[in-house]
Chain A
Amino acid sequence: MQLLIFFYLTITCFFLALFFLLARQFTAEKYCSKAGCAFCALTLATLLIAKGNLPIFKDFESLVFITCILGTLVSFCSPRHGSGTSVRCWGYGFILGLLLLSLFYPKGPSPDGYIQHYIWAIFFLGFRQVALAGMLFSSCFFIQYRKDQRREIKAPISSHPGRNYMLLSAVCFLISEYAGMIWCQRGWGDFWQWSNGFFQSTLVLLYLMTAFHIPGRNGNFDRARSLIGSLSGIFFLTMTMLRSLI
């Protein structure tokens, strides 16, 4: 019950944050955003206390965990003025999307298995989810960058912060992959195996590599680069959801 109260309060707070942002009530938006992060953290704490396991294993808890990281990034790391407000707008859009998605999954802690206590599995899943949150945040910058390119505005947002968060996500993703390699080596006798999980992880890695290897400096290539950047978070989220479904 407590879990559901915190969860629905999280949705309400982020919804209000988006509302106040659109209404240009930035102080109210700031408080709602921070309250959303706090309720999201309380939801995670409730899950943690219920079973004693980190809330990163099942779909519902992992989506809430990603929301918490993304909410924190949006609240504390996005620019406050100019196009930065639009970046936050996209951020709240992603947060509400994640929360909406989590409504479809059974709410509650994951059953206690071996992976909940296995450090490499915890690193693998934890860093993967941090990487996904970072990539969604980087997408916000790229989406706004694309929008600003189309309009003639005084202070267009740069794609550089988006690139930074994307590269940071790539680092987190690689740490997760390294933990996965150790897990695979100890559990199955080899550090990588042909499997659907491996193919999907490789696809995410290739996507990131593509984003960082687009040549040229003219407008077309720039648009292609920002398009790939904009879709990076959605691509990674799709891969993650597919992985949990298959």
Chain B
Amino acid sequence: MKKLTEYLSSLQFCLWLLIILIGWFTWASMLAATGHSDTFAQMNNHLLLNWLSISCQKAPLICFWLFGLCAVMTALGINLIFCTWNKILKMAAKHMNRSAMLMLMIHLLFGLVILGHLGSLIFGFRHSNIRLQQGGSFEFESGYRVTADQIHFVNDFAVLTKPMKALTSEEFSFGSNFVQISVYRNDRFLKSERLYFLKPFILDNIQFTLRSFTPPVSTGKTAQNQPSAGTILFISKNPVKSLVFGLFPLMIIGITAYLIMTWKQPGLLNPISKSAGGNTK
């Protein structure tokens, strides 16, 4: 039992897991580059459990990859807990060493940030690719309803065939094109706001994001009835978002402080191991 806990707390175990993860993500990168990018894009549109129930049978390879990733990450989590408990915590308590304390903090924050990433796949909701025309509405959880009151698009509709990233400022007026939305809950008006690209609207922790515009459905253009562009919205609620956005900078600050504290070379062999975590496990 002692041997097992020692191995679970060890750097060797951590190293093996990291090597497996490198292989696993290399495989994912190759999968994404060789025809599975749509499946990954589909995963972005749903929460994990929802995606598993809808698409897992259609994409068994990606499903296998995902389960494998979860298994390795769980093992890494176990290693983090054991190592923190058996090694880093003891070392920090024994020597009251500031750099060991920082090391402890960085590892704990890293664990929480990873949990936050997992949490974003599980909690809240996502409604992707909501296509609305002017006046159209969409109802979602807890009696909420969003209406596209006005879709203001001032450029040539032909540019909408291009991806957003490829558009130049001449082709697409980022400050002028917007969608005016109104949000209701149980038919009670809550708020109205303009959505611009990269300027989402957040209400009750629900984020309304303007993804893109779509060309008008009708091409019959008359003087009285100007065709209006459509829009694609993304509505999401992610309760762990604030946690990750709060903890991530703390982790960066922790690593920076650790770097400053250990910048000077200790009089030891293998300084990477000694000062970057190697002696802690």
With A193-B44, A225-B272 already in contact, the answer to whether A113 and B169 are too (CB < 8 A) is yes
Indicate if the CB atoms of A112 and B169 lie closer than 8 Å: yes
Binds A, one of B26-34, B90-98, B143-151, B214-222: B26-34
Given A164-B263, A178-B249, A178-B252, is A200 in contact with B29 using a C-beta cutoff of 8 Å? yes
CB within 8 Å of A: which of B14-73? 14-15, 18-19, 21-22, 25-26, 28-29, 32-33, 37, 40-41, 43-44
Chain B, range 217-276, C-beta contacts under 8 Å to A: 234-236, 238, 241, 244-245, 248-249, 251-252, 255-256, 258-259, 263, 265-266, 269-273, 275-276
Interface positions, chain A 15-72, Cβ under 8 Å from B, are none
A213–B17 alpha-carbon span in the complex (Å): 11
Does B205 sit within 8 A of A, measured CB to CB? no
Query: Could you say which residues of chain A place their CB within 8 Å of the CB of B11?
Result: 213-216
A113 touches B272 (CB 8 A): no
A215-B209 contact, Cβ under 8 Å, with A181-B248, A185-B241, A194-B40: no
The listed residue (B21, B22, B167) touching A113 by CB distance below 8 A is B167
Q: For the complex, is B117 an interface residue (Cβ under 8 Å from A)?
A: yes
By a CB distance below 8 angstroms, the chain B residues around A210 are 15, 18-19, 22
Shortest distance in angstroms between B107's beta carbon and chain A's nearest beta carbon? 11
Q: Does A159 reach chain B (CB closer than 8 Å)? A: yes
Please report which residues of chain B, range 151-172, place their CB below 8 angstroms from some CB of chain A when the two chains form the complex. Answer: 164-170, 172
| CB-CB under 8 A for A213 and B271, given A189-B236, A190-B120 | no
Contacts of B166 in A (CB 8 A): 113
Q: Is B174 an interface residue (CB 8 A)?
A: yes
The answer to whether B40 and A189 touch across the interface, beta carbons within 8 angstroms, is: no
**A170 CA to B276 CA, complexed, in Å:** 12
State the Cβ distance, A157 to closest chain B Cβ, in Å: 11
B234 surroundings in chain A (CB, below 8 A): 188-189
In the bound complex, do residue A206 and residue B25 qualify as a contact, i.e. CB atoms below 8 Å apart?
yes
- Return chain A residues, CB-CB under 8 Å to B244: 181, 191
Q: Which residues of B contact A187 (CB under 8 A)?
A: 197-198, 209
Residues of chain B with a CB closer than 8 A to A203's CB: 22, 25-26, 29
A44 CA to B245 CA, complexed, in Å: 33
User: 4 shortest A-B CB distances, which residue pairs?
Assistant: A215-B11, A189-B234, A189-B209, A160-B271
Give 14 pairs: A residue, B residue, CB < 8 Å, sorted on A.
A113-B166, A117-B174, A159-B271, A187-B209, A188-B234, A189-B207, A191-B120, A196-B29, A199-B28, A199-B32, A203-B22, A203-B25, A212-B272, A212-B276
Which residues does A use to contact B, with CB under 8 Å?
111-115, 117-118, 158-164, 167-168, 170-171, 174-175, 178, 181-183, 185-196, 199-200, 202-203, 206-207, 209-217, 221-222, 225, 229, 246
Q: A113-B166, A113-B168, A188-B209 are in contact. List 20 more A-B contacts (CB 8 A).
A: A111-B168, A114-B169, A114-B174, A117-B169, A118-B198, A163-B276, A164-B263, A174-B251, A178-B248, A181-B248, A182-B245, A188-B234, A189-B207, A191-B244, A196-B33, A199-B29, A202-B25, A203-B25, A212-B272, A213-B277
